[in-house]
Structure 1
Amino acid sequence: MKKLLAPIGIVLGIIIVLAILIMPKYNKFVQLDEQVNEKESQIETQLQRRGDLIPNLVETVKGYASHEKEVFQDVADARARLAGANGVNELSEANDQMTSALSRLLAVAENYPDLKANEQFTGLRDELAGAENRIAVARQDYNKSVEEYNKQTRVFPGNIIAMIFNFEKKDYFKASEGAKEVPGVDFNTNQEDNSGDE
């Protein structure tokens, strides 16, 4: 019986030492994972805040440029895609589509001096600019958290803990290739269409 207690004691001692070494690293991964999730929810909150401004902005522009149906449809489609996005990659792509659609909408507004002078439009445009700034800050914060988390999944001994407990690398929130292109708006065709309606 005494011969059996010695190996059991050694095994228990090894388990206790391993637990003491592993637990802090595991807890660090849990904290970093939660931090990334919280930062992702901040991006979603800011995108929703911007999304809530869009219907008012569209309606204001429609009052001056009702014939710009394609631009309005693009904004509506982008808003729907953003609302249905799941995960950081889909959210990032949908955000790029929304940013492009909003750029075209604001470019349309540039062609209407009365609209640019409208107080409601100016206020909405300023709120939209503020929302874009908050989105940029939230995206930066998220990417910093992802960077810290991903570093821990790659350095020793964190890479072993990550592999054992299935802490996988996270994706950054980044712009798609298409988002780097400036959207084009052709005012000539719209003005001709508008003058033909009169």
Structure 2
Amino acid sequence: MGFLTSNIGLILFVVLAVVIVLWAISTYNQLISAREFVRNSMGQIAAQIESRWDALQNMIEGTKQYAEYEAKTLESITEQRTSLGQTAAVAEVAKDDELFNQAMGRLLAIAESYPDLKASSVYQETLKNVDRYEQQVRQSRMIFNDTVTKYNRVIQSVPSNIIASLFNFTTEAYFENTATKTDMPSWS
């Protein structure tokens, strides 16, 4: 018993150190997991946006037979965009949205000038696909914002904020409503 009583302080120190190390590892893993959920959510948005652009590109191809010059203008807009991935920033997605809305607005204006284009079944079906992808992008953004909320809470909560700051975890930005996103778009 003499050894135990004389080294009780050391034993308590070792036990406390082990508990702190285990807590730090657990918290770090929780932060990594939360960050990966954020990245996965952004990846979902990027996939939906890519599909939306593919549908728009299909509409541009259909427009070529009616208005070659306008189709080239639309293609130049699509060439300005950069591919988004799971590490894309909210600002990059917003810029992509601007380009998409610019191209879509132009395409709708062209369709107004060419009634045969507007009436074609391919145009109508593609318009439905663009709308469907737009709705999926909106849904993916809501999921992203929920995921970011959970991630940001972990980073800012005591005591996990200590580990977050030690390993340079930073808060993520949210998607916010803009003037163009307050109402559901109407493509027809």
Q: TM-score, normalised by structure 2?
A: 0.78
| Residue 148 in structure 1 maps to residue 137 in structure 2 | no
Task: Please name the residue that 2:88 is paired with.
Answer: 87
Report the CA distance between 1:141 and its aligned residue: 0.8
Task: Indicate if the aligned counterparts of 2:46 and 2:84 stay in contact, CA closer than 8 A.
Answer: no
Aligned-partner Cα distance in 1 for 2:19–2:78: 58
Task: Please name the residue that 1:38 is paired with.
Answer: 40
Partner residue of 2:30 out of 28, 31, 52:
28
SS of the residue corresponding to residue 82 of structure 1 reads coil
Q: TM-score, normalised by structure 1?
A: 0.75
Higher helix share: 1
Report the CA distance between 1:83 and its aligned residue: 2.2
Aligned-partner Cα distance in 2 for 1:157–1:138: 30
Aligned-partner Cα distance in 2 for 1:161–1:40: 24
Aligned-partner Cα distance in 2 for 1:163–1:84: 28
Report the CA distance between 1:43 and its aligned residue: 0.8
Report the CA distance between 1:163 and its aligned residue: 1.0
Cα separation, partners in 2 of 1:84 and 1:153, compared to 1, 3 Å: closer
Task: Indicate if the aligned counterparts of 1:43 and 1:138 stay in contact, CA closer than 8 A.
Answer: yes
User: What amino acid does structure 1 have at the position aligned with 2:104?
Assistant: L
Task: Indicate if the aligned counterparts of 1:92 and 1:174 stay in contact, CA closer than 8 A.
Answer: no
Task: Indicate if the aligned counterparts of 1:150 and 1:170 stay in contact, CA closer than 8 A.
Answer: yes
SS of the residue corresponding to residue 168 of structure 1 reads coil
Report the CA distance between 1:105 and its aligned residue: 1.3
Task: Please name the residue that 1:161 is paired with.
Answer: 163
| Residue 121 in structure 1 maps to residue 123 in structure 2 | yes
| Residue 104 in structure 1 maps to residue 106 in structure 2 | yes
Task: Please name the residue that 2:185 is paired with.
Answer: none
Aligned length: 176
Aligned-partner Cα distance in 1 for 2:6–2:106: 78
Task: Indicate if the aligned counterparts of 1:153 and 1:169 stay in contact, CA closer than 8 A.
Answer: yes
Task: Calculate the aligned-residue CA RMSD, in Å.
Answer: 2.8
Task: Indicate if the aligned counterparts of 1:82 and 1:98 stay in contact, CA closer than 8 A.
Answer: no
SS of the residue corresponding to residue 167 of structure 1 reads coil
Task: Please name the residue that 1:192 is paired with.
Answer: none
Report the CA distance between 1:55 and its aligned residue: 2.5
Any gaps of 5 or more consecutive residues in structure 2?
182-188
Report the CA distance between 1:31 and its aligned residue: 2.0
Report the CA distance between 1:130 and its aligned residue: 0.7
Aligned-partner Cα distance in 2 for 1:149–1:11: 32
Aligned-partner Cα distance in 1 for 2:158–2:117: 59
Aligned-partner Cα distance in 2 for 1:47–1:39: 12
Task: Indicate if the aligned counterparts of 2:53 and 2:100 stay in contact, CA closer than 8 A.
Answer: no
Aligned-partner Cα distance in 1 for 2:6–2:124: 82
| Residue 17 in structure 1 maps to residue 47 in structure 2 | no
The percent of aligned pairs where both chains have the same amino acid is: 27
Aligned-partner Cα distance in 2 for 1:76–1:34: 29
Matching of residues 186-197 of structure 1 within 5 Å: none
Task: Indicate if the aligned counterparts of 1:82 and 1:91 stay in contact, CA closer than 8 A.
Answer: no
